[in-house]
Structure 1
Amino acid sequence: MEIPKDIDLILVLTDFVSHGVSNHIKKESKRLGIKTIYSKRSWSCVENSLAV
């Protein structure tokens, strides 16, 4: 899985991805310098994660 380099933010919905995928995204986003937010899929959780 390759992460595009021209994005500003990665939103990972933790209800839908495995632990391995989450770790891969974390590693690659750090390497590329892309901000990453992890949240459950409910809008209130997403909203709270974005506010931080």
Structure 2
Amino acid sequence: MSDTSKDFSFDINFNKAAKIPVSFVENGEELKDEILKRINAEHVRVLKMS
């Protein structure tokens, strides 16, 4: 998109979306950090079970 004066928006139904790009979410970096922390915690929990 070379013309920045045009309004560019998406109409996304988040209820039906299988994957939502983090860049589309407000505070995306914070969300990404929280997701990675949760994944790490679950990984540690699973490793302790085996």
TM over 0.5: no
Higher strand share: 1
Higher relative CO (Cα under 8 Å, sequence separation at least 6) belongs to 1
Higher helix share: 2
